[in-house]
Each structure stands twice: as structure tokens, then as C-alpha cells.
């Protein structure tokens, strides 16, 4: 299946790529509020002008932005580095799934080995953990390699 790759930008200036089955697929997801910025979570997204290209970045080492690169190019390069580092960090965590809140409490209370974990938690569970002094951070699903297809 061929995918359309769009350059997108949120209202705060974060630039990122979105991959969709078609222009209509993008429009439908945008209308339903399913497109959001991976950096700040904003749902106010616009498509940027972009030239068609082949997605072969995985065949080449990432290049540093040149001295003459525009601010947008520098920001995109920085965002790409951050995304790679976050994905690498997530790969080194244990996925505890829906038991996340329970396991975070066990670690916090010393009942389980201290280790980096990830999983799913409802907004209410995250709020309760915060009130108990347990720091957690929501991470967008697309950063988890296990969820990529």
C-alpha cells in the first residue's frame, strides 16, 4: 500500500510528518480530531507545501543541517534527533501494558524492582499517580516501536 507523506505544522510551529493512505484519509482524520502534534499535542494542524519525495531515509545516515539551512530545516533536524532518542529510550523499558499504574505504585513503594516501565493508564490513573507523588509522562503511541507496522 502506498502512503502519502505530508509535512504538517501545529499552531506552535512544530513541524512533523504525517503518513496517510490518501488526501481524503488525511482530511477525514483531521475532521475527526485525530491528527495532533507529536511534540505538544495540539490538534490545530495545517499541511505545509512540500515536494513529492521517496521515503528512503532509512538507507542513509542522518545528515547534520548545513550552516545555510533555514530555521525550519534546523528545527526539523532537531525534532528528528529528539524523536530517535525518545524511541531509543522507550526500547529500553519494560512494557507492563494495562498494569502500568499498579506496577508504578509497586516500584514507588519498593515492592518491585526499580526499573523503567511503560504501559497504558487512563487520565484518572495518571492523575492519581501524580497526587501520590509518582511522576509519569504520557508518550504518544507512535513513538513505541512495538506499535509500528
User: What pTM value is reported for the model?
Assistant: 0.50
Express each pLDDT in 17-52 by its tens digit.
Answer: 888 888 899 999 999 988 998 888 889 999 987 655
Distance between CA 93 and CA 119 in Å, rounded?
Answer: 10
50, three cell numbers: 512540500
- Cβ atoms of 46 and 29 within 8 Å: the answer is no
E strands in 4-147: 4-10, 15-20, 45-47, 94-97, 117-119
pLDDT digits (tens, 9 = 90+) for 5-19: 888 999 988 888 888
- More confident site: 67 or 97: 97
Amino acid at each position: 500500500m502506498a502512503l502519502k507523506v505530508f509535512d504538517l505544522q501545529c499552531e506552535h510551529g512544530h513541524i512533523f510528518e504525517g503518513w496517510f493512505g490518501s488526501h481524503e484519509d488525511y482530511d477525514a482524520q483531521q475532521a475527526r480530531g485525530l491528527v495532533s502534534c507529536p511534540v505538544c499535542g495540539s490538534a490545530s494542524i495545517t499541511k505545509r507545501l512540500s515536494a513529492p519525495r521517496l521515503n528512503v531515509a532509512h538507507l542513509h545516515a542522518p545528515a547534520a543541517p548545513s550552516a545555510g539551512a533555514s530555521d525550519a530545516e534546523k528545527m526539523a533536524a532537531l525534532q528528528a534527533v529528539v524523536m530517535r532518542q525518545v524511541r531509543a529510550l522507550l526500547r529500553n523499558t519494560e512494557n507492563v501494558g494495562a498494569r502500568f499504574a499498579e506496577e508504578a505504585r509497586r516500584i514507588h513503594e519498593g515492592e518491585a524492582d526499580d526499573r523503567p516501565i511503560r504501559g497504558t493508564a487512563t487520565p484518572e490513573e495518571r492523575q492519581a499517580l501524580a497526587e501520590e507523588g509518582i511522576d509519569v509522562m504520557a508518550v504518544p503511541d507512535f513513538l513505541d516501536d512495538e506499535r509500528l507496522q
